[in-house]
Amino acid sequence: MEYAEVEDAVDAPGLRLVLTAGVPGPWGETAKSLFDFKGLSYLPVRQEAGGENAALQSWTGQTSAPVAVYNDLPPVCHWLDLLHLAERLAPEPALLPADPALRAEVLGLSALIAGVDGFGWQRRLQLFIPGMSLPEPPLGIVRMAAKYAWSADAAAGAGAKLAAIAGLLDQRLAAQEAAGREWFVGEAVSAVDFYWANFAGMVKPLPHEVNPMPDYLRGMYESGAAEMAQWLTPRLLAHRDRMYQQHIKLPLVF
């Protein structure tokens, strides 16, 4: 992917999306797939993983990715704000159901995947263990780990939380299948389906030919495979594959 630098993107018109360059980060990949689903074009803007990102801090008030900025609207970086921005800019096709009860289900399940203490958060705690266990952890790892309130105790408890979230998601899909439905909520694809498909890559990345991620990152994401195999069910993986077949473009470009 060709990225604009932050300094050049500040005064650019339209939708700009700050992404971690060179890697398929789950929050960023989800933002891309949501905007793509809506038919929204955007200018990709570079963020350096674990870097100081001083220009990004000056522009958006923080140093992480993804961040979306549309024209003169304030920057948005929280997963929920990014979702609402996509809905605002292109109401159709909808990612959130109109029915309030179904909408609440989509938002609740999405939060379990992408939100604080959710699936992605817990997996990140695990992935920081090798670096944070060094006598002198690299500064980039320390910066990223601090954003997730990393501690050895929190990382040790992450596996059980991942299993619990995955178990709930699997039960949800099983109930939907029994009703003749293929998505997490209702009868149509919604935001939660995009979140699961993208975040599943943190434990089971797609093959290299469609996801040419760096070898070091693939090794990290695939670590702990034996433990995860106990809860990463065929049903959850089939849902992920269905999303890429029907709604998310391949190969991934980052």
How high does pLDDT run on average in the chain?
97
Residue 13 confidence (pLDDT):
96
pTM score over 0.75 = yes
pLDDT tens-digit readout, 164-223: 999 999 999 999 999 999 999 999 999 999 999 999 999 999 999 999 999 999 999 999
Please give the average per-residue pLDDT across 119-138, as a whole number.
Answer: 97
CA atoms of 26 and 30, how far apart (whole Å)? 6
Q: What is the rounded distance in angstroms from the CA atom of residue 26 to the CA atom of residue 134? A: 25
Could you give the percent of the chain with pLDDT greater than 70?
100
DSSP the chain: ---B-HHHHTT--SEEEEEETTS--HHHHHHHHHHHHHT---EEEEE-TTS--HHHHHHHSS--S-EEEETTSPPB-SHHHHHHHHHHH--SS-SS-SSHHHHHHHHHHHHHHHSTTSHHHHHHHHHTHHHHTSSS--HHHHHHHHHTT--HHHHHTHHHHHHHHHHHHHHHHHHHHHTT--SSSTTS--HHHHHHHHHGGGTSPPPTTT----HHHHHHHHTTHHHHTTTS-HHHHHHHHHHHHHTS-SS---
Tens-place pLDDT, residues 67-125: 999 999 999 999 999 999 999 999 999 999 999 999 999 999 999 999 999 999 999 99
Joined together, the tokens standing for residue 5 give 């630098």
Per-residue pLDDT band at 242 (split at 50, 70, 90): very high
